[in-house]
Amino acid sequence: MAVVGATGAVGQEFLRLFVERDFPVERLKLLASGRSAGLKQEFRGNELVIEEATPDSFHEVDVAFFSAGASRSRALAPAAIAAGALVVDNSSAFRAEAGIPLIVPEVNPDAVLPDSRLIAVPNCTAIILVVAVNPLRELGKIDRIIVSTYQSASGGGAAMMRLLEDETRQLVEGKEPVASHLNTRYGFNLFSHNTPIDENGSNEEEAKVMSESRKILGMPDLKLNVTCIRVPILRAHSESVTIEFDGPAPSVEAVREVLSRAPGVRVIDDRAANRFPTPLDASGQGDVLIGRIRQDLSNPNAISMFITGDQLLKGAALNAVQIAEMILKRTPAIVR
């Protein structure tokens, strides 16, 4: 077993999840950039030394979890596969490739084929969306989804979480934060997702949510309108979602009923107590939380809801571990 990107925000969640879920790890290799090589990391009472990730790192590795960015995955995943490892890749490197399964275990487990050696973990915002939306397909044909997101710092990694904390600390101390790599302040501020804008006016994150949601759901013609906004929250993404059906929308009761028995979902929807999901509720746990379930008053064919999930867990590390667990269950010999 190997984790590439072990020192990152997602990498650290992998280590916690292996313990928490009693994942069958016999030998664990922690790989990172040369900068982190030699650092020590506690795991199950042992002290592991972080090694630099190179093409030679994967000897006798059965499963390699990659979470070190797309260019690192592109450079090293082929070597890991050649060495015999199953690669579960959290980066965007291979997600769009035909033949590469893009998997959310609650949604499309059967897209993993017996000979799949590389499984891509989708974009965090897409994962949280499809876990919430997929169960509703038993209530009618979904035609269009309109999403506005409230994305956390963790989507930009440990460095962006630190940036948010540092700027916020300076602001509550009455200081003006020094300019960061962002073109705006993050503390007590929000901004359009800072990825390049394409010719349609979508940023890269929005384009990923659209194309990956279609691939995961197996709905190439699904209409999607996505607006991705980064908010000053540490580690859970929220999404305001309107779902238009190809015909009259199901009742709020039917939606609640279907979601309350859907895998990976928890409904928190108490109108009387004004209690709905918050990213704080979602932080540190694995479910996608759903509330504010209601008829869209502007369209009889639509419903709206508000969802939130931990970006580092279900949006990344947990989804990857669940993929490996699923494959292990089918093919126990793969993990050693």
Residue 175 makes contact with a second copy by CB under 8 A: no
Judged by CB under 8 A, the stretch of 4-12, 33-41, 113-121, 230-238 that binds a second copy is 230-238
Distance of CA 176 to the CA centre of its chain: 32
- Residues that contact a second copy, how many (by CB under 8 A): 61
| C-alpha dihedral, 109 to 317 to 306 to 164, nearest 10° | -160
Distance of CA 195 to the CA centre of its chain: 17
Judged by CB under 8 A, the stretch of 75-83, 90-98, 267-275, 319-327 that binds a second copy is 267-275
Q: Which is nearer to a second copy, 1 or 147 (CB)?
A: 147
> Using CB under 8 A, which of 78, 82, 175, 188 touches a second copy?
188
The residues annotated as belonging to the active site are 124, 237
- Map tokens 């691939």 to a residue: 215
d(C-alpha 180, C-alpha 91), whole Å: 24
Applying the rule CB under 8 A, the residues between 144 and 173 that interact with a second copy are 144-146, 148, 150, 165, 168-169, 172
User: Across the chain, how many H-helices and E-strands are there?
Assistant: 8, 16
d(C-alpha 44, C-alpha 244), whole Å: 47
Beta partners for 302?
Answer: 244
Q: Which is nearer to a second copy, 90 or 203 (CB)?
A: 203
Write phi, then psi, for 247 (nearest 5 degrees). Answer: 140, 175
Residue 49 makes contact with a second copy by CB under 8 A: no
Residues making contact with a second copy (CB under 8 A): 144-146, 148, 150, 165, 168-169, 172, 183-185, 188-192, 194-197, 200-203, 210, 223-225, 227, 229, 231-234, 238, 240, 242, 252, 271-276, 278-281, 291-299, 302, 304, 306
